[in-house]
Amino acid sequence: LHPDNFVNATEQERELSLKRSSELNDAYRTLRDPIARVEYLLAIEGERKEGEKKQQAPPELLEEVFELNESLDELREAKASGENLAGLKARLESAEKNFQGKLGEVDGKLQAAAREWDAAVKAAHAERRIVMAKLNDLLNRRSYIRNLVINVAKELAEV
């Protein structure tokens, strides 16, 4: 399949070789990346569309997310008015560290659920669906928390 093996082949064979080689490389990258692997698994199992990301705050984080968004708004207002940012910056750095910890926890749970899936592949359909739902929920949580961390880091970088 490697394109180097098709240098003297017809144009159609070279294009097909290049296409297949690219597909293999994409598949390898997907399987190597635990998050991409779970996203792909959910897509082929019909649990979500490929590339779909749900941005819904996990219920137990709503209060923290609300406080974080308030702090981000305060930071933006303080930057615009030239106020002292030290206290706000420290509070946001602490929140960022907190959410990075939560992201790490979700990543650990996601890896454990992926191992559960690997074990459940040969199991009954109902058991597979339970693990699928767990993977989907964890992936959604990860996506939401990751975006929070990115937003805080972005705002702090501009201070």
In a domain? residue 2: no
In a domain? residue 75: yes
Query: In this predicted structure, what is the pLDDT of residue 1?
Result: 67
Total count of domains within the chain: 1
- Nearest residue to 129 (alpha-carbon basis) of 117, 143, 142: 117
> Contact 154/72 with Cβ under 8 angstroms?
no
Query: In this predicted structure, what is the pLDDT of residue 142?
Result: 92
In a domain? residue 52: no
- C-beta neighbour count of 104 within 10 angstroms: 11
Domain containing 126 equals 57-157
> Contact 117/131 with Cβ under 8 angstroms?
yes
Structure tokens of 126? 């109902």
In a domain? residue 3: no
Query: In this predicted structure, what is the pLDDT of residue 10?
Result: 85
The C-alpha atoms of residue 9 and residue 13 are separated, in whole angstroms, by 6
The C-alpha atoms of residue 130 and residue 35 are separated, in whole angstroms, by 19
Residue written as token pair 């559960």 = 116
Half-sphere exposure of 54 (CA within 13 A, CB side): 15
Low-confidence ranges of the chain (pLDDT < 70): 1, 49-55
> Contact 59/69 with Cβ under 8 angstroms?
no
- Nearest residue to 102 (alpha-carbon basis) of 144, 155, 152: 144
In a domain? residue 41: no
Query: In this predicted structure, what is the pLDDT of residue 98?
Result: 93
In a domain? residue 121: yes
Query: In this predicted structure, what is the pLDDT of residue 52?
Result: 61
Q: φ, ψ for residue 6 (rounded to 5)?
A: -120, 25
